[in-house]
Chain A
Amino acid sequence: MAVQIPFATISKVHDEAVIEDIFFTGLLQQCQVNRDAPQWLVDVRQQSKNWLSRQSTPTRKDEDWRFIDLSSLTAGKFVTPQNPVETNSRSPLQETKNSRLVFVNGVYNTDLSNISALPEGIYVGSLSNLPSKYDAAKYFAQQPGADAFTALNTAGGNDVTVVWADKNVAIETTLHLVFLADGQNEANFTQPRVLVVAETGSSLSLVEEYSGVGEYFTNAVTEIFVRDNARINHTRLQQESDNSYHIGKTAVSQQRDSHYTLTEINLGAKLYRHNPEMWQQGEQTETDLNGLTVATGDQTSDTHSIIALTKPHGSTNQLHKCIVGDRAHTVFNGKVFVTKEAQQTDATQLNRNLMLSPKARVDTKPELQITADNVKCAHGATVSQLEAEEIFYLRSRGLSENDANQLLVDAFAAEIIDRLPLESLRTRITETIEQKIQL
């Protein structure tokens, strides 16, 4: 958790008296303690617990949470699932059918998983089985920044899934981590935790997927360390049930000459919040963020990103698109920090929103904070509707109104979908969006 907080604006740190927030305390009491954990992990969890005991649940009065209302989450009663249940996952992706790890309600499921295609030079599995040559203590919970939900995950987490690529190893096979939740019998609470380390000169491609059925709360944290000259292509797929809550953090620290790409697709959950936080900690680091959110019905979907350029010659390119229908609400809040040391950097950020209904709501807040004086930075946001002239053009060629609208929505989404690394994923997401948006 919070080992350093480089920007005071990111999160207020309260060092006041113990608050014992009912929501956090209630959830923490549910969490099972892993008695076999090494001492360093017990210590980190205890530190997080202590820090969390001084935090209260965020409300609209907190700047970082002002666009969404967490009261339906904090009023909910969630229990830690006692017995893992069987649930049908989506059909495996062709490209990852032999390199996928499936977790059901937080427990690794050997029947649904298949790791027969995992190559040499990478460890993928539980922290408890991690070979001793890997020093997890050096990385676990060591990302900058601090927030209560991440602390809750650290304090109350049980298992940690570790992906660790050895030095100079190029992993060709895409890894697929699937976190399934089944809240049909009782509203449950799970805290997936992933630690990814790409050692110097290594490269890997990772798909992280969240989905489920029923009512539940997922509080997920993924920490990624991209060491010198390493490369990670990361896809985060959120297809949670429409009755679920999902709060997620993707924290990434990059060393020099490294390259990290995140493509996030956010389709599910009743209330969704994702915080991608990118920390460039070495020179000439590249960070690309692609995002597509599709929200319909009464969904609320909030992406709050931070990209911090702290060294010279870094670059970042972010494109986040939202399609918003019915009474749904999307939020994009993207902060880009360029510190004084980060000269000759290049940052672009764009948020584009397509509103399909007069009752839909979009909040967008791209922010740049630059203290360096020799940089290239651009940012912007657009909000639009389907264009009547474009629809007429398509209809004049024989397409029905519905087909014309669908084609235009697909075209809007395609710019991000085309950046997904797997063909089967592109097909699945395109089809899911078509079903989701009934124009």
Chain B
Amino acid sequence: MQVPAQVEYEKATSVQHALAMLARYGPAAKVLAGGHSLIPMMKLRLAQPEVLIDINGLTDLCYITRSGDQLRIGTLTRHAQLLDSGLAGEHFAIMHDAERVIADPIVRNWGTVGGSLCQADPSEDLSAAFAAMKGTMVIHGPGGSREVSAREFHTGPYETVVGPSELLTEIRLPIRPGGGSAYLKVARRTGDWPVGAAGAAVWLADAGGGTHKIADAGIGLTAVGATHFVAAEAEEFLRGRPADEQTLARAGEIAAEHCRPVTDQRGPADYKRHLVQELTVRVLRAAISRARGLAT
């Protein structure tokens, strides 16, 4: 039987209240959102906080809204809410692609977007998706709020820039014209962690004669040792090039060259590298089709 060790419990009634308690308890405290990573880790004593600060009552942090040219997602938004959001899917289909393959419908009911990001598991899907979309994280602390690029949010496996007295409150995604996005994951079983996964967001520009060039691209890679979950070299290669198959094939090769997968129980490194090459091409193809308004 697995049970967490003894722990104190506090229920936050507002963001300010949560921040005050985080300041009081310091690193001994952990924020409890959906708990679908934290509680299993507490059962295994991989995490042993002295105090849990439950933010599930902060329902004003559950939202998906558009504000000008930004899509804003509250940190306590449940995975199921993001999957059900027409607004999210309209602007960033990648989020629906990713959410559909995160865990299972029951886990998605309670697990949260912010919790997944702060857990920073190298196999977690949303980190790569938000990196591909070039999102920004809003972090509140004792001195006010700050914004950090999704690409600088993770400092290593299970580590983020969120300090012990800070709280991730919102994710902001820039809505730009000509955009399309997609996510693909290979897992051994339905609902399992990925062997490897890739996400892409592309922004097209008219190149004349019915053709398009890639104005900008974001590529996120999951579970394959990509720095900050990003295939930066492949993105750089794509910028300004024609949106054709030859370009995509080369981008896939570059992404595969620069990631650093490890051999583990989910598969050998060379297979994962092969997955990166193939998945990168496929998500770019799907993202470009969506940007052009073609169904995929």
- A and B from one complex: no
Residues in B lying within 8 Å of A, measured CB to CB? none
